[in-house]
Amino acid sequence: MDDPTATDGGIDPARLPEFEVLFSGAEISARIQELAREIADSGMQRLLVVAILKGSFVFAADLLRALHTVDVRPEVDFVTLSSYRKNQISSGQVSILRDVDLEVEGRDVLIIDDILESGRTLAFAKDLIWARGASRVSTCVLIEKAVPRAADIAADFKAFRCEDVFVVGYGMDLAYRFRELPFVGRVIS
């Protein structure tokens, strides 16, 4: 990428770049089924799932359907958080763009996000849900990146770990593109 601060992510929109596939669609769906079982076995009651938009929308959709197959019947809501990420660089500030609608007080809540990197987004979401009076808060991410955390947080459930590379696909974007890819990969050219 020539200019990583360009609003197009330095990617020519007219050309489909090459990707290295890190986690294939088949690997992801097999792992999600295992995760659903782990979550079902964790004994959460009257579960409320809160998915963090936008990046987790594909993961959350597949995980929720896998949870259905193991008899978990949650209520589902969404929160849209912004980490003021310009392309691949995170600013460190998190803010709420759209809040949850449902009452959180007294509920067991499972927060779903796409990636745990610095940890600021997930820590912010967890604090928010605790502050709304949840009785139990668990977190689930598709990918935990092997980087030092700025916030002291670990995910209770995670599908995969990956090295410190910028990934796209399966809901995750680079400058709003590549969310539709059925795999997680990285742009190689």
The count of residues in the chain is: 189
Residue 92 has which token pair?
Answer: 């460190």
Closer residue to Mg ion, CB minimum distance, 19 or 59 = 59
What pairs with residue 138 in β-bridges?
Answer: 110
- The answer to the question of residue 42 lying near ligand IMP (CB under 6 A) is no
- The answer to the question of residue 171 lying near Mg ion (CB under 5 A) is no
What pairs with residue 96 in β-bridges?
Answer: 81
Closer residue to ligand IMP, CB minimum distance, 68 or 176 = 176
Q: Select the residue interacting with ligand IMP from 135, 156, 166, 175 (CB under 6 A).
A: 166
Closer residue to ligand IMP, CB minimum distance, 44 or 124 = 124
- Interface residues for Mg ion in 13-72 (CB under 5 A)? 55
- The answer to the question of residue 120 lying near ligand IMP (CB under 6 A) is yes
Between CA 173 and CA 9 the distance in angstroms is: 10
Residue 170 has which token pair?
Answer: 């399966």
- The answer to the question of residue 169 lying near Mg ion (CB under 5 A) is no
165 neighbors 178 (Cβ within 8 angstroms): no
- The answer to the question of residue 144 lying near ligand IMP (CB under 6 A) is no
Angle between the N-to-C axes of helices 25-41 and 57-69, in degrees from 0 to 180, rounded to the nearest 10 = 60
Which residues would be at the binding site for ligand IMP (CB under 6 A)?
A: 55, 83, 85, 90, 113-122, 166-167, 172
